[in-house]
Amino acid sequence: MKKILIIESIHNHGIDLLKGNKNFEFQVVDNTDTEFLKDKIKDCDGISIRTSKLSKEIIDSAKNLKVISRHGVGYDNIDLKATKQNNITLAITATANAQAVAEHVLFMLFSIAKRNNMYNETVKTGKFSDRTKLPKTIELWNKSILIAGFGRIGKCLLKKCKGLEMNIFVYDPFVSEEEIKKVGGTKINDLNESLNKMDAISIHMPLNENTKHLINYEMIKKMKKNCILINAARGGIINEEDLNKALNEDLIFGAGLDVFEKEPPSLDNPLLKNEKAFLSPHSAVFTEECLSRMGIETVQNIIDFFDNKLEKSKIVKIS
């Protein structure tokens, strides 16, 4: 019988896959203290993890560990070197969250373009008659959007933007022009040269040494005045200090962030008080439907691993 540790609670639909399965015993823990996890993980065959840190110290203490199933698609909270050194397979929920994140991007785009906070507040504070004095909103129809990163989420967003009749451009060095053209997009080869043509830019890249602070003040200066910048990928891809400065200088129309360099962000982070920043608490996947899918896929990946059925597309290749 394989021993499974669920680190941080997941949707009951995922837990139900383990209940009554004679091949597994499991425990759910929400304590993510290092010493606690070192003790709990030491004889486990498989674990799932959400956003807490899985350090080398913790991984090295798990002598029987064979598979880590990440509840999500990012894995910057996991020590990859230790994972590889211990010959542990790392799996992600590759198919579960694309719809929810793509919808969240549109939610942010519409909220910023239509000045949701300002217009809502105007009515609720009894200033309805001031509607003609309010700053004007903008349409998304026939606007150009750049999707930076064309994995499952980027592809899903493209489909939704087509419904809005937007002009869709894609930047991803690892995806061919033919593949992008086939689904209705136009491939961009040089990110810098395309910035001044875009009305919206949505980031869908992993965070690594090449993408850390990729979007900085100099890049934002190249964007159109009416551009809306969205990041629902990973905090740190956008330099937050530079973004705040750019927003204060009205270099772009607005920005939407679901992710931050430090989570939770410090209360003195100036973006929290910037009226041109629309923020959410790393919650793009927090729909009932998505959390159910993620819980199921997280556990199914563990089961499939031990049944030798785990799809290669869900396994992270650690270099």
| Helix or strand holding residue 310 (H, E) | none
Same-domain status, 32 and 159: no
Look at residue 25 and tell me if it is in a domain.
yes
pLDDT, tens digit (0-9, with 9 covering 90-100), for 165-174: 999 999 999 9
Look at residue 239 and tell me if it is in a domain.
yes
Same-domain status, 23 and 152: no
Same-domain status, 111 and 82: no
Question: In what order do the strands lie in the sheet containing 2-7?
Answer: 24-29, 2-7, 46-49, 67-70, 89-92
Same-domain status, 118 and 148: yes
pLDDT, tens digit (0-9, with 9 covering 90-100), for 252-282: 999 999 999 999 999 999 999 999 999 999 9
Longest alpha-carbon distance in the chain:
69
Look at residue 170 and tell me if it is in a domain.
yes
The total number of structural domains in the chain stands at 2
Backbone conformation region of residue 95, classed left if phi is above 0, alpha if psi is from -120 to 50, else beta? alpha
Handedness of CA 117, 119, 120, 126 (dihedral sign): positive
Same-domain status, 168 and 198: yes
Same-domain status, 117 and 183: yes
Is 234 tagged catalytic?
yes
Distance separating alpha carbons of residues 24 and 164, to the nearest angstrom: 47
Distance separating alpha carbons of residues 306 and 32, to the nearest angstrom: 25
Look at residue 237 and tell me if it is in a domain.
yes
CA triple 225-232-105, angle to 5 deg: 70
Distance separating alpha carbons of residues 203 and 233, to the nearest angstrom: 6
Q: 299: helix, coil or strand? A: helix
pLDDT of residue 123: 97
Same-domain status, 133 and 70: no
Look at residue 319 and tell me if it is in a domain.
no
* DSSP per-residue codes, 70-112: ESSS--TTB-HHHHHHTT-EEEE-TTTSHHHHHHHHHHHHHHH
Is 204 tagged catalytic?
no
pLDDT, tens digit (0-9, with 9 covering 90-100), for 49-100: 999 999 999 999 999 999 999 999 989 899 999 999 999 999 999 999 999 9
Distance separating alpha carbons of residues 156 and 165, to the nearest angstrom: 15
| Tally of CB atoms within 10 A around 78 | 23
Look at residue 309 and tell me if it is in a domain.
yes
Same-domain status, 145 and 254: yes
pLDDT of residue 319: 84
Q: What is the CATH number of the domain that holds 65?
A: 3.40.50.720
Query: Which amino acid is residue 266, in one-letter code?
Result: S
Same-domain status, 131 and 197: yes
**Structural domain harbouring 39:** 2-96+288-314
Q: Which residue in the list 70, 71, 104, 234 is annotated as catalytic?
A: 234
Look at residue 74 and tell me if it is in a domain.
yes
pLDDT of residue 128: 97
Joined together, the tokens standing for residue 123 give 């009515």
Is 13 tagged catalytic?
no
Whether residue 90 contacts residue 70, with contact meaning beta carbons closer than 8 Å, is answered with: yes
Q: Which residue in the list 165, 193, 263, 275 is annotated as catalytic?
A: 263
Same-domain status, 76 and 220: no
Joined together, the tokens standing for residue 193 give 């040269």
Same-domain status, 199 and 80: no
Same-domain status, 30 and 119: no
Distance separating alpha carbons of residues 291 and 283, to the nearest angstrom: 11
Q: Does this model's pTM top 0.75?
A: yes
Q: Which residues of the chain carry a pLDDT beneath 50?
A: none
pLDDT of residue 20: 83
Look at residue 222 and tell me if it is in a domain.
yes
